[in-house]
Structure formats: structure tokens, C-alpha cells
Structure 1
């Protein structure tokens, strides 16, 4: 049976929320896990010596939990009725939701229509399926949510401002505003940018935390493409770099429901306010001028007005009640990393950021995850760190020859000393021959000959190679092919008998004729033999 596998970051997110004091029910709802799964994570963490309140869980704890979960982590199978209904889910939703100007069908009618199509399931099973997967029977009434605590929640969203002439490019540039608002006090910060990339989101948040003097515990964002890899109501997939940034600053990412503005109403209402009250009707010199005035406007105008909902001044509420409750904003500016899934090539290297980095030989032809920042490049395999390199510029390379097999790294490193040492192990004459062979200003030019010399020992034996090298040195022949010729000539010649063995004696003659039997010349008597 197939099972659903979660990664290290998902497990760590559950533990981080538990460490903040959130209930298991709230964590299960926020992360899309089952409560049993949350309890199982907590029980395994306790076995490894960690409990909520002991501090931020590290990656090693999450990796150990994953190793325990992989052999038996299984997902419940759907029931028989649910398996029959699931292929018709979209059709059921259309029947229940209706079309423009028409009410949806009743569930009883839908049950009958499915029966005509051959999908026969109990009505109770259909009701359970519709309630679980088709939002059937849910109340649409509006309920006012409870007010958040000071320093607990902030909401962020991008909004379009307009065009501003840029003297550097001599063209008009479209500007966007990243609006960050503290939900409790309604105090806000505006970051002006011309792009909506991940680096711009992180830079804007860093400036916002610096502006507020602290960090909120939770950040609700509008499924920004730069921060969320996959928007999903129940199981969103976070972009790795943004998730790492959230862990670095200590806040929890809480994405709103996709295409549902009511999930973040506070920041949604402020985007038009920023555009109409701050940007429009002004004369701007350049984008930098817009950013400078945006900070001033947040303090002097938006912060001092009487808010229409709270009827209080956001800046005063922030200074008196919320600023002291924010998480501390300390440490260096976040070094935004880049993540990439790379393939280890036949040369035991990965290409990351247009530079080459070596990987240990056992990971040849594997897929690895690479994380790089301004200083270091870290290579992970299945969640474990396997190699670290200093970051190289495009076109550079960082090669650790210890990652290669020993027999292949010698030539790559051009290590003549290693070849001489190997030759001395085969015999003194072989060692001297190797030293003579690799002597000179460019010893690596004859490394292949030194390798061939050592392969001759494997083919003909080290003793014969020792004798051949001694003979070659005696005639000052520093050539590997001549050494091989000496070895072949020695094999063609018969081996002399040992001196201790006597020479073989001839066998006694048998059935031999006299010496004159084959003499056909006439003798003195005139006879012929």
C-alpha cells in the first residue's frame, strides 16, 4: 500500500508550532495534518528527548523522526463508496452549486442522477462525501473573528502603484507596493519595488521588521508566487528559501486561501488606501524618492490618522501596546539563499549558479538538493548534509579531490609524489625508474606512463618488473615501452634450470644399426654397403 511521505521541513513546522504553545487541534488544522499524526510526531520527539517548551527544534530531530516514520508511514485508503464517487467529484459540485441565476440541485436529486449513471452508493455515503469534498451543508453566514493579541499577526500583500520615470534607464518603470500591516494596531509599512521576486519580498519584510523594531509571531500572506510553491487550501507547499527565512526570523507562515480576499481583509483594504492617498496626485523624481516618502507617509499620515474600524490612532496603539510584544529583531541581515535540485554528473560535480562543485563518489548519478548563499554552498541528499563548499563566482569551480576514487584522483590532482611512493612499494628499482620518469619541470605530462608502469606489475608480477626496471636503468633506458619489451623478451626465452638440479643423462640406445649401415659408397673390396 502506498503511503504519504512528508519532508523534514513539514515535521519541523509541526514541532515549531507545538513549541509556541499552540494546541494539537490548532496545529493539525493549520498544517493540514491529522491530529493523530501530530500526536505521533510529538510522541516520537519525546522519545528523542524533546518536549514543547524545550526550545526551537533543530533539523536533526526532524530527520530522526522521519527515519522512524518511513518504514511504516501509511495513508488510510479511501472507502469503497468514496472511490466510486471521487471521479465524479467535479460533476457533483456543479450539480450542488448550480449555475448563474439558478439554484443547485438537492442532494437527493444528485443521488438519483448518479444512480442513472451506474454509480450506486448509499445516500449516507454520498452525504458524507459531499460534506467532506464538495463543501455541502456549510454555513455561509459571516462571523466576526476574535481580535488578535498584540504582536501576534501581520498581513502582507502586493498592490500596484503606477508608473514613475527612472532617470537611470530613461524609461517609465511600473512600481509595486509590498504592504505590511500589523493586525492589532493597524500600523503599516510600505516597501516600494519594481519586481515581485522572492528577494524583493524578503528585503521588504526585513525593512518592515526594522521599521517596527520587531517581528510578529505569524505572517498571513496572499500565496505570493515567490513564497508559495503550490497554493492549496489545506496543504500549501512553501518555497524553501522563504520557509528558511521564516525559521530564521522566528515567525510562522500562514497563507490565506487562494483567490479568497476575505482571508486577509486588513491588508486588502489598505492597498487601495496606499495607492490613492499616498501615490496618486504626487510628482515623483525617481523610485528612490517614492520609497523615502513612503516611510515618512507611514509614520506621519497613516500612523496618525484615526482608523475607521478601531477608531484609534495606529501609531499610538503600536507604541503603547504592541511594540513591546513583538519578537526581537536581532542578528545580521538575512542572507537570501537559493535552492535547486541538481543531478550529479559523471565527473562527480553538480552545476549550481553556473559554477561546479564536487560531490562524494558514492552519490554519483544521484539527484541532490543544493542550497547556496553568499558564503557557502551546502549539498543535501535525502535531507542529510553531504558536502559543503565555499561559494564560487559564475564559471568557477570548487573541487575536493578526496571525493574522487583514489585511482582516478591521482591524474586529476597531477600528484607525482604519490606515483613515486607507489613505485617504491613495488621495488627499489621500480621506485628509481619512476623518479627518473617523473623528473623535470612538468612531471604530470608523464603520469600516464607511470600508471602504465604500475599496471605492468599487475600483469607480469612485481619481481619481473623489478628486474626489467633494473636492466633498463643499467642501460639508461627511461622508457616504459622499452621496459615492457624487456619483460616480453624475458618471457620468450626459456628459463635456465636451477644449478642444484643435475643435467639429464641420455637414455641407453636400443635397436640401433651399425654405423656403416647407411654408407652407400663402394669400399676397397668393391662391395657396397
Structure 2
């Protein structure tokens, strides 16, 4: 005979549910009767030799004779309380909820119920059986765990047949166990940040903390007590209004849930996809997405509810709002402000202005694909739209001193138009000077010097000197200046004497000194 009894109406409800094919766990959830009470009754049903349909045809007296009922106060109280366990478990994951509050709610509906100590004892026993002990109860929207699987998936080159291992990123919201999985080329910070962006978009919100497990792509220096995050992760946290919390180095206990999820990912995603061939990461991610949907929709054995349903019920309402766009990774460079009040960005071979009072100071340049920001002692002093036109001077008028504003219109066209008014050979020479591989600032200064030579020498001589130097392999101010100083331009053009000093490869020409 069953250790605990149910009344005749509960017995009929149980028979109807079993006739419909419901599992014992499902009956427990629907009826609020503990599984330890249901299981013996189901065994008695089977031992009777009658089908569920035949048992339901019996009148109440016959059922009572087959399954005699003797009600006890404790049995009734426990059955009532156990019907709330799943509800209590969900509520405890919500911020601010306490056991004492739930006990008060329970007593309000059932004044003859258990006292607080017995209430806790029964709830603890149930939680231990369904593997959600007090130590592992997580608050909704509190954190997301992120990690990479130890095992890899593979992509095959369609042309060569070469097989390449790819990384698998996993993120899990522990309160609901709702999971995100994607494939990436590496664990480098570029791929890691992209995966974090994607997982938060998938969740449709932001938890209070992202737990990263001391990943190299997130942490500059691991520590048991306080890891040092890299700048991009700190910036990502600011962008999403969250925090980054690396778990203690070498302490996997901090992420038992993720490790458990990884094992299930191996079973539900890796195993079926391992039998297939994929020719691109994009194709593999599409397949992962399909399997992930199935995985999140599976009913969890202990709770008889899916991760997706639990996520919508208890997790999503407590996630923070997503910003208008994903975080875009920045690069960081040290630089020194040059004399003209510009910072040189080597990657683009461009110059960006800062307020002229910072000339000579060391600054930090932060940039992404669109924006260049310049910081002095952690304070932003300039921001520009990034330019990919090499040799450009990107400036703002307010950054320039009154002296430097004279130069703000410098450009190849500016100098060519000026030279055109001075002489045709000067124009041709400056055109060649601007096209050689010299930093623009240096070329502009040399152009200015050549044009100013007309204040020292007749413009005809300057134009002739430029004509004489057009055949050189290099171009510069000093070449023209030397011709004028040495009056080479004034020598009769018909005299073609051989030089007194023999020419040979060890003699450097005038172009060397431009």
C-alpha cells in the first residue's frame, strides 16, 4: 500500500491524467501531490490488472475498496505545500524575494500550514532532489556566464579539403539556464567581443554582470582575487551599463553551471553536427542556431519546463535595456603631439588636430572604424571622424592658434594654384615634389620655401632653377636653393664643359641634400 494516501477526487484526477499519458512528474506539477505519493499509486494501478479507462468506470465505493484512503493531517499539509515548490523556486530567483515572504504568502492561504522551520526543511529537501540547492539559486537578470568549449567543431575548405578547427562560444543565464552558442574563428578579443555582442542581442537584454572565466581575450592579468581587465572589456562594460567579473583563476566551481551546459551542448549540438560537413563558418552557425533552438525548447527533467519558457517567465523581465547599437572594439595607441598641434596616426598615415596648448605632450589615441578620439591624462581633448585618405590633415579651427590658422588651407591644390601664378616651371616642379613619397607636412613646407624664394631672387631665376632640376630623381627646396646660391642657373647653357672632377658612383648628387 502507498505510504501516503490521496482522497477519492485526487485519485480520479490522477487516473484521468495517467489515461492521457501524463508522466508522474507532470501529474505532480498539475495536482500538487508529491511524486513519492504518486509513484506507489501508479504501481498499484498497474498491479490491479485493469486499464486506466476501466478503473475510471468504477464507482467511488469500488475505488475506495481497491485503494483505501485514510487521511492524515501531515499528509494533507505536505501535499498542499509540495504543490507550491515549483512556484517557490521561480519566485526565489526574482530580485528581492525571500523565503520568509513566501512562507507568509503560503500561511495566508493555508492558516494551518507548517511553521517557518518545517517550511524551510521541506523546501530544502525538494531543492536537493531537483538539484537546485540553495548554493546554486541565482537571481534573475543578475549575471551571464561566458566561456569556450574545450572541444572544437570543424570547417572544411571546399577547394582543398583542408579541415580547420573553429572555436565554440557558450553563454548561459544561470537563473533560467537559457543558453546561447555560436562558432567563431578564434578566441582573440575581436572574435570574443563580437560573440558577447551577439549573445546579448540574442537575449534581448543585459544582465548586471558578465562572468568571463579569466579568458585571455578579456583579462590582461589573471588573479585569484582581482583580475585586470583589458581596456576593450572595460569599455564594453560601460557601453552596456554592466560589469565584467572574471571568476577566480583556477577555480572552476565559480562556473559549474556553464560546465554542465557545455556537456549538454556536446550531446545536443556537437554530436549531431559532427556527422555533417560544413564549408563555411556562416553555414555552421546556421546549423548551430537550429540545434540551439531545439536545445532551449527541451523540457528540463527536474523542472518539467523548457529553458525558453523559464527565460520568458523569470529572466527576461529583469534584464537591462540594450543600447542602440553593439559595442565596437577600439584600438589604443600612444602618441606625441607634434609642433603644428597634430597627432600622427601611423595606421592611416594621417594627422589629427588637438588644441594647440597640448603641443609636445604625450597622449593616448583611441579609434575604431569610424571615430578617432584623443585623450590627455584620461580626459578627451579631441574627437574626429576617421579618414582613410592617406596624408590628410583632419583639423578643427578651434584647435589651431592664430599663427597656425594661416596653414589650415594647405593642400596640394593650394600650392599648385599659388605656383601657377608664379611660373610654369615652378608649377611643374611643385607638382612633382607633392607626388613623391614624402610626408605631406614636409612636402608642404618645402613648397612654401620654394615659392618664398621669389622674395630673395628674381622670379625668372627661380623658374629657371626649377626647370633645371626637373630631371632629377628627387625633388626638394634645398636643390633649388643650391642652384640659386651657386648661380648655376646663370651659367651659359651652350657651355658643356666636362667637369674637372671625374664622376663615379661614390659621388652623391645635389638631390641627396633636398
| TM-score, normalised via structure 2 length | 0.51
Query: Could you say which residue in structure 1 is the equivalent of 2:265?
Result: 274
The question of whether the paired residues in 2 share the 8 Å contact of 1:162 and 1:176 is answered with yes
Which residue does the alignment assign to 1:154? 144
Does 2:397 correspond to 1:387?
Answer: no
Q: Give the match for residue 366 of structure 2.
A: 371
CA distance 1:408–1:179, shift in 2 (3 Å): same
Aligned partner of 1:300 in structure 2 is 294
Can you list the C-alpha shifts for 1:403-446, whole angstroms capped at 9, x where unaligned? 6774797499269999xxxxxxxxxxxxxxx9998466956957
1:447 aligns with 2:444: no
Q: How far 1:450 moved relative to its partner?
A: 5.5
- How many Å separate the matches in 1 of 2:244 and 2:421? 65
SS of 1:272 mapped into structure 2: helix
1:254 Cα deviation (Å)?
1.2
Contact 2:236 2:327 in 1 (8 A): yes
Equivalent residues of 1:401, 1:413 under 8 A apart: no
Partner of 2:180: 189
Check 1:354–1:144 CA distance in 2 against 1; reply closer, same or farther (3 A cut). Answer: farther
* Alignment CA distance shift 1:452-1:332 (3 Å): same
Distance 1:436 1:371 in 2: 40
SS in 2 for 1:274: helix
Q: Name 1:199's counterpart in structure 2.
A: 190
Is this contact kept in 1: 2:142–2:209, CA < 8 A?
yes
Mean alpha-carbon deviation: is it higher for 278-287 or for 379-388? 278-287
**1:254-288 CA distance string (max 9 Å, x none):** 11111211122211222232123321353233133
Unaligned runs of 5+ in 1: 1-20, 23-142, 419-433, 457-468, 486-529
Aligned to 2:245: 254
Alignment of 1:329-408 (within 5 A): 329-344=322-337, 348-360=342-354, 361-393=356-388, 395=390, 397-400=392-395, 406=403
The corresponding residue for 2:308 is 315
Deviations 1:66-93 (A, max 9, x none): xxxxxxxxxxxxxxxxxxxxxxxxxxxx
Q: Is structure 2 residue 275 aligned with structure 1 residue 283?
A: yes
Q: Distance in 2 between matches of 1:148 and 1:279?
A: 27
| SS of alignment partner, residue 258 of structure 2 | helix
Cα root mean square deviation, aligned: 4.3
Which residue matches 2:498? none
Q: What is the aligned residue count?
A: 311
TM-superposed CA distance for 1:229, in Å, is 1.7
Superposition pairs of residues 115-154 of structure 1, within 5 angstroms: 145=135, 147-154=137-144
> Which deviates the most, 367-376 or 404-413?
404-413
Q: Which runs of 5+ in 2 are unaligned?
A: 1-94, 97-132, 431-446, 464-479, 486-514
- What SS is found at the alignment partner of 2:268? helix
What's the offset of the Cα at 1:191?
1.2
**Cα offset for 1:211?**
2.0
- Provide the secondary structure at the position in 1 that maps to 2:308: helix
Q: 176, 200, 215: which is aligned to 1:224?
A: 215
Separation of aligned partners in 2, 1:145 and 1:259 = 20
The 5 A counterparts of 1:509-528 are none
Q: What's the counterpart of residue 242 of structure 1?
A: 233
The superposition leaves residues 157-215 of structure 1 with CA deviations (integer Å, 9 ceiling, x where unpaired) of 01134342423563211122111100100110101112112222222222222222222
Alpha carbons 2:153, 2:167 under 8 Å: kept = no
* Equivalent position SS for 1:329: coil
Map residues 88-127 of structure 1 onto 2, 5 A cutoff: none
Partner of 2:81: none
Matched ranges for 1:430-509 at <5 A = 438=422, 445=430, 447-448=448-449, 451=452
**Distance in 2, Cα, partners of 1:204 & 1:448:** 54
Change (3 A) 1:435 1:412: closer
Q: How big is the shift at 1:311?
A: 6.4
2:141 and 2:175 in contact (8 A); partners too: yes
Residue 329 of structure 1 and its aligned partner are, at CA, apart by 2.6
How far the C-alpha of 1:322 sits from its partner, in A, is 1.4
Which whole-Å deviations, capped at 9, do the CAs of 1:445-488 have from their partners, x for residues lacking one?
5732554677x8xxxxxxxxxxxx9xx99xx999999xx99xxx
Contact conserved, 1:160 with 1:275, CA < 8 A, in 2? Answer: no
- Determine helix, strand or coil for the equivalent of 1:145: helix
Report the Cα distance in structure 1 between the residues aligned to 2:357 and 2:252, rounded to whole angstroms. 49
* CA contact 1:189–1:298 (8 Å) conserved in 2: yes
The CA distance in 1 between the partners of 2:204 and 2:411, in whole Å, is: 56
* Contact kept? 2:152, 2:168, Cα under 8 Å: no
Work out whether 1:173 is the aligned partner of 2:178.
no
What secondary structure, in the 3-state scheme, does the structure 2 residue paired with 1:293 have?
helix
Deviations 1:344-365, CA, capped at 9 Å, x for gaps: 5678442343432334454445
Q: Distance in 1 between matches of 2:339 and 2:357?
A: 12
